Structure formats: C-alpha cells, structure tokens
Chain A
Amino acid sequence: MKTNSNRSFYLIPYVVWMLLFVVAPIVLVGYFSLFDLHGNFSFVNYQNFFTSVYLKLTLSSFWYALIITGFTLLIAYPTAYWLTKTKHKQLWLLLIIIPSWINLLLKTYAFIGIFGVFGPINKFLELFGIGKQQILYTDFSFIFVSVYIFIPFMILPIFNSLDKMNPTLIDAARDLGSSTWNTFTKVIFPLTINGVKSGIQAVFIPSLSLFMITRLIAGNKVITLGTAIEQQFLVTQNWGMGSTIAVFLILFMVIIMILTGQKDKGELVNGHNK
C-alpha cells in the first residue's frame, strides 16, 4: 500500500500528456465549431452542415470509403488466408508489410507516373488497340490507389486471427462432411471475424479522411470529409466550419468503433466463461 503514491507518480507525465493532446484538442474542436467566420457564437456551421452540399459530400465520402474497404477486404482476405498456408509465413508477412513502411507520398507519386497519359498502363492498353485513356484524375485511379495503400493494413489483423485459429477445427468440419465452401462460411470466417473487424476499422476510418490522395490522384474531383476539413482549415481559413466537419467525422469514427469493436468484447467474455 505504501508504494501507491510512488506508483501513481509514474502516471503523472502520461496523464498530463493525454489530457493535453487527446482531451484538449477534441474539446477545442467542439468549441471552435460553435463560431462563425467572424468569430461570433452561432450554430450556423451546424445549419450549413445539414444543407445539401455537405450532406452530399458526407454521403459520397461514405460511399467511397465503403467501396475502398470492400475491395481491400476482398483482396486482403484470400491473401492472408493463403499466407498462413505458406512455409515461411512470418517471412512472407514481413515482405507484405515492407511496402507499407515506404513513405505514403512516394507510393502515391509513383501512380502519377504509372497512370499518366504516357505511363505503362496506357502503353499496355495501346498494345491491345484500346488506345490511350485518361486514367489519372478518375474515380478508378482514386479507388485503386487507396486500396493499394490500405491492403497491408487489412492483411495484418486478418492474418493474425487466422494464425491463431485452431487448425483441428477445420479438420473436424471436413471429417464431419462439410464442403470447402461451407467450412469457410461456417467455421473459418466466423472465427476470424474479429480480425476482419479490426481490418475494417483500420481502413474505413482513414478512407473517410483521405485528403492527400484526392489531391494528387483524383485531381480534386473526389472530395472526402478529410479533404473538406483540410480545405476549410488551410485554404478558406474557416476554422469554424472545418471544426464542425471534424466534429461529425469524430462522431462517425466513434460509431464505427462501436460497430466494429463492441461485439468482440462480448465474444471474449463468452470465451472466458467457457
């Protein structure tokens, strides 16, 4: 008991840090959202948010995030699954992770060249007689590059949950006459749903807030919530409106965290009860 005061001493720098850089910034964003462009207290930003312009923006941002997350999951799940079947799986996993450590800007920049009018993809298309296409600055290029960026972040949690799964369960399902597809949908996928959820969390929230890729690859044609915030803060200097969008983005974030997090707590509890 006597060590208690000493032990809480450890907490002081950390708690101060968290108050300063987690609580204070969020409070400030909420506070600033209540002021209009001229510094007067008002709810005008919230009224503006519920106009068609911002609602459309929010919807399209969600739509893009949904497509990006969907494709990422579609590509990442089989990759993670077959990675666990390889001989040196940890080495292969490391090789999958390395590209995610290369600076994001450089990878995005590479696609400016690859998708360019004279780039390799267009050369390839010409070879087949399809001719030059405008690939850069389209929805396709935006989604492709985003999926490319996010794939390792989806593979990692799914790989981990697949790796933890008891392989005898699959054998048991097979022995009991389950088909490969049934084994997957009834045994493997439900058991790895937590990995899928954390993968979705790791991809969906960032894709709502992308702003660098929208500028470089989508050429300002795609506006996500992140792009809108950046625009309000750094271009039009309307911090009030920017903060309001940020408040909603934080709200969406919390909702997504609850949706993708709550259940796995329950499952854990069940597991312990057994």
Chain B
Amino acid sequence: MDTTSKFSKLYLTLVFVILYAPIFYLIFYSFNSGGTMSSFESFTFEHYAAVFEDTRLIMILINTIIIALLSALISTAIGVIGAIGIVYLQKRKSRNALLSLNNVLIVSPDVIIGASFLILFTMVGVKLGFASVLISHIAFSVPIVVIMVLPKLQEMSSTLVDAALDLGASKRDVLTRVIIPYIKPGIFAGFFLALTYSLDDFAVTFFVTGNGFTTLSVEIYSMARAGITLTINALSGLIFIFTLLLVLGYYFVTNRAKNPLRNGVPK
C-alpha cells in the first residue's frame, strides 16, 4: 500500500514537472542576455524591453486582445440566446439535430474549420483580415458557449418561470431577472472559454487571415519558423502571467457566482 502511494506521488510529480518544464524553460531564457536558449550568460530585461519597444508587436497584441474580447462577447450573446431557444424546443428530434450540429463545430479539426471558412469568405466576398478573423472566432466559440450554458438551463426548474409569470412579470422580466441571473455561472464559464479559445487559436486564424492582419499566434509561428528569438521568450513570460491572472480571475468570478444565495443574503 505504502509503496504504491509513494510510486503514485513520484509519477504525479514527474507528470507535473514535464508539463511545466517547457514553460519555465522559456521564461528562464527570456532573461538571458546571450540571445540563445542554450547557454545562460547573464540576467537582463532587454528582451522584455524589446517587446514593449516593438510597436508592430504591440499592435498585434492589441489586435489579438480586441478580437478575443469582441468574439467572446458576441459569441456569448448568440450562444446564450441559442441555448435558451434549444431548451424551449418542444420537439426532441429538432433539439437533437441542433445539438449534433453544435457538436460538429466543436469536434471538427481546426484545419477543416479554417479551410472551409476560407472558401466561404472568398465566395461571399468578405475581405480577409480583421472581419474574417473576428467572424470565424465567433463561429467556433458559439457552440462552446451553448455547451457551457445548456446544463444550467436544464437544471433550472420551469416552475421558477411559471412563478414569475404568475406574479405578473413580463417576458422581458423573466429573461433578465429570472433566467439570466440563474444561468450566470454558465454564461461566465462560456465567456471565459470563448476568450481562451480565441487567444489560443492558431490554425483557423492562419487560414483566414490575409496579408495585412496578424494575431499573436500567427506572428509567433512566423517568428518561430525563422528560428529562435528571445523576444518570443519574453512574450511567453508575459503571456504566462496574463494566463495565470485570467485563470485566477475566472475561478474568483465563478466561485462567487456559484452560490447565488450566499451573495444574496447580505443584501
């Protein structure tokens, strides 16, 4: 018994080390003045300074964040409304059909999404660039939001809505004061997932971004293809901290939202 628990601890530690080692390796060498990822010469912040001095890189960073926020917001709106619609669907068959369509986009490999959207945009005549990237990010985020919101809607008792209607609430009131507050945790989860999917996406963006417009992932790809630049390392240090803050923020928000009763009482 004792030996297996020792072995299991060792195994878990090993997995953790392997999962984190590449990330810390990147961050470690971001402070290397030597300019390579193999021999550490001396400590420096010059690569971080280079990131902030590179106006083009900063513009790309801002573009990436704008795309992520906008696509997360819009896809959350479409997804929440869609999820409410799906739950209200009376016919089980059409509900299942919609849900499988929803799943298609989640399971589809990025390459398929990217290539098919590229065809779609050229056929319709959407200029490749900001618009095409934004639309495709919204497109692949909507199903994720639906998946996150749906369970919350399903666990909501329909008597809540009936009670509100009986007490004279308008349909608008039912939506904004009963349904939305109840499914808030799901909405938050969907929004954050959409945000991270957008920030992380490389393949879809790579297909539908034209010549003029780049996001961070695509830029890192072209930089990495050219070889090792410690600017990328400095970027990864910044992104790591940003991701940690995002995860912590997410857990803070969802844990607060998890128990609506507890939040309601002090009021």
**Does B221 contact A212, Cβ atoms closer than 8 Å?**
yes
Q: With A and B bound together, what is the CA distance between A20 and B224 in angstroms?
A: 34
Nearest A-chain residue to B19, judged by Cβ: A99
**Does A79 contact B117, Cβ atoms closer than 8 Å?**
no
**Does A119 contact B38, Cβ atoms closer than 8 Å?**
yes
Shortest Cβ distance from residue B131 to the other chain A in the assembled complex, whole angstroms: 14
Q: With A and B bound together, what is the CA distance between A107 and B139 in angstroms?
A: 25
Q: With A and B bound together, what is the CA distance between A267 and B247 in angstroms?
A: 35
- Of B20-28, B53-61, B183-191, B258-266, the one contacting chain A is B20-28
The answer to the question of B11 belonging to the interface, with a C-beta cut-off of 8 Å to chain A, is yes
- Of A8-16, A161-169, A189-197, the one contacting chain B is A8-16
The answer to the question of B36 belonging to the interface, with a C-beta cut-off of 8 Å to chain A, is yes
Q: Which of A11, A79, A107, A211 contacts B12 (CB 8 A)?
A: A79
For the complex, count residues of B whose C-beta is within 8 A of A. 80
Q: Which of B12, B107, B203 contacts A205 (CB 8 A)?
A: B107
**Contacts of B9-66 to chain A: CB distance below 8 A:** 9, 11-12, 15-16, 18-23, 25-26, 29, 36-39
Contacts of B120 in A (CB 8 A): 20-21, 24-25, 28
**Does B220 contact A229, Cβ atoms closer than 8 Å?**
no
The answer to the question of A158 belonging to the interface, with a C-beta cut-off of 8 Å to chain B, is no
For the complex, count residues of A whose C-beta is within 8 A of B. 81
Q: With A and B bound together, what is the CA distance between A184 and B13 in angstroms?
A: 22
Q: Which of B11, B89, B103, B236 contacts A79 (CB 8 A)?
A: B11
Shortest Cβ distance from residue A221 to the other chain B in the assembled complex, whole angstroms: 15
CB-CB under 8 A for A110 and B112, given A17-B78, A105-B224: no
**Does B116 contact A29, Cβ atoms closer than 8 Å?**
yes
> Does more than half of chain A's interface fall in helix, strand or loop, or is it mixed?
helix
Q: With A and B bound together, what is the CA distance between A201 and B103 in angstroms?
A: 12
CB-CB under 8 A for A113 and B111, given A28-B120, A212-B221: no
Q: With A and B bound together, what is the CA distance between A250 and B109 in angstroms?
A: 9
Q: With A and B bound together, what is the CA distance between A267 and B60 in angstroms?
A: 48
**Does A28 contact B123, Cβ atoms closer than 8 Å?**
yes
Q: Which of B16, B38, B110, B112 contacts A95 (CB 8 A)?
A: B16
> Does more than half of chain B's interface fall in helix, strand or loop, or is it mixed?
helix
Contacts of A211 in B (CB 8 A): 111, 203
The answer to the question of B69 belonging to the interface, with a C-beta cut-off of 8 Å to chain A, is no
Contacts of B104 in A (CB 8 A): 22, 26
The answer to the question of B228 belonging to the interface, with a C-beta cut-off of 8 Å to chain A, is yes
Shortest Cβ distance from residue B220 to the other chain A in the assembled complex, whole angstroms: 4
Q: With A and B bound together, what is the CA distance between A2 and B9 in angstroms?
A: 60
- Chain B 92-119 against A: per-residue CB contact (8 Å), 1 yes, 0 no? 0000001001111101111111011111
**Does A103 contact B217, Cβ atoms closer than 8 Å?**
yes
Q: With A and B bound together, what is the CA distance between A78 and B200 in angstroms?
A: 28
Contacts of A109 in B (CB 8 A): 26, 220, 224, 232, 236
Give 18 A-B pairs besides A11-B82, A20-B120, A206-B109 with Cβ atoms closer than 8 angstroms.
A8-B88, A14-B146, A17-B78, A20-B139, A21-B117, A21-B142, A29-B115, A79-B11, A101-B196, A103-B216, A103-B217, A118-B38, A151-B15, A212-B202, A226-B203, A229-B111, A230-B115, A243-B119
For the complex of A and B, list the 3 residue pairs with the smallest distance between their C-beta atoms, beginning with the closest: A14-B82, A113-B37, A25-B116
A–B pairs, 29, beta carbons within 8 Å = A8-B85, A10-B88, A13-B81, A14-B85, A18-B101, A18-B105, A23-B101, A25-B113, A32-B119, A85-B8, A98-B243, A101-B243, A102-B239, A103-B236, A103-B239, A104-B217, A105-B217, A106-B232, A113-B25, A113-B37, A113-B228, A114-B21, A116-B37, A152-B19, A216-B221, A229-B111, A239-B119, A246-B112, A246-B115
